[in-house]
């Protein structure tokens, strides 16, 4: 009975609701392209801004690496190498003098000033050339040079140990002192050639 009485009213209410829903749907559909266009424009602007940001940062990094690679010229490198050579020879002369004066080891032909001078000079010149080449080819010349210097230092101990097997006059003490004399030039080259001494 109630459904019969309220039937016409319910029909009008449902018709009104349908009309309202239809109007809302039409408005939503009408505004959807505008919303999509606005979102698309914002996304394009965001991507464009960040793309320029990354491009600028990449360009700055390339410029920084270029400046880093060319910041040490050959005259400056030659001066650093000369300082490294003088310091290395002075330190090795002092150590060698102490060893010889105190007679810490038996007399050995390679434990003399001339051999020490020759091998120290060769080592420092080689380190200077290697650092100069790394400064042109490597993006991180200082770090790479430190690693190379440590590896070369470790390898330089091998000939000194081999003296015990191939030279009857060699003693453990003499071979040890010769190996120790490789350490000061390596440390001096790392500090001097990379510019840490001038800082």
pLDDT tens digit string along 2-61? 444 444 444 444 444 444 444 544 444 444 455 444 555 555 554 555 454 545 555 555
In order of 40, 41, 76, the CA distances from 46 in angstroms are 10, 9, 46
Measured distance CA(150)–CA(190) in Å, rounded = 9
How far is residue 29's CA from residue 20's CA, in Å, rounded to a whole number?
14
Tell me, what's the pLDDT at 73?
Answer: 86
pLDDT of residue 72: 80
User: Which pLDDT score, from 0 to 100, does residue 12 have?
Assistant: 45
Q: What is the mean pLDDT of residues 172-185?
A: 96
pLDDT band for 191, please (50, 70, 90 cuts).
very high
Q: Identify the pLDDT of residue 179.
A: 97
pLDDT digit string (tens) for 65-95? 444 444 688 899 999 999 999 999 999 999 9
Between residues 77 and 1, which one has the greater pLDDT?
77
Q: How many CB atoms lie within 10 A of CB 196?
A: 10
- pLDDT, one tens digit per residue, over 121-133 is 999 999 999 999 9
Residue with the bigger pLDDT between 141 and 67: it is 141
Res 13: pLDDT: 46
Whether residue 197 has pLDDT greater than 60: yes
Alpha carbon 158 to chain centroid, angstroms = 29
pLDDT over 90 percentage in the chain: 57
Using a cut of 0.85, tell me whether the model's pTM lies above it.
no
* Alpha-carbon gap, residue 100 to 96, rounded angstroms: 6
Query: Rounded CA gap, 84 and 42, in Å?
Result: 59
Token pair recorded at residue 88: 């290395």
Q: Is the pLDDT of residue 137 over 60?
A: yes
């Amino acid at each position: 009975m109630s459904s019969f009485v309220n039937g016409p009213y319910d029909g009008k209410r449902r018709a009104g609701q349908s009309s309202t829903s239809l109007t809302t749907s039409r408005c939503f559909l009408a505004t959807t392209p505008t919303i999509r266009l606005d979102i698309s424009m914002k996304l394009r602007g965001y991507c464009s801004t960040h793309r320029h940001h990354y491009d600028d940062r990449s360009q700055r990094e390339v410029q920084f690496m270029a400046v880093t690679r060319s910041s040490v010229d050959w005259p400056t490198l030659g001066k650093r190498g000369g300082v490294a050579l003088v310091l290395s020879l002075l330190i090795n002369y002092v150590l060698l003098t102490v060893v010889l004066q105190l007679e810490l080891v038996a007399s050995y032909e390679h434990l003399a000033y001339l051999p020490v001078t020759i091998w120290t000079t060769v080592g420092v010149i080689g380190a200077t050339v290697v650092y100069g080449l790394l400064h042109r080819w490597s993006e991180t010349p200082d770090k790479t040079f430190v690693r190379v210097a440590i590896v070369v230092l470790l390898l330089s101990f091998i000939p000194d140990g081999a003296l015990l097997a191939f030279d009857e006059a060699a003693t453990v003490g003499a071979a040890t002192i010769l190996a120790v004399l490789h350490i000061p030039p390596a440390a001096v080259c790392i500090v001097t050639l990379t510019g840490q001494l001038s800082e």
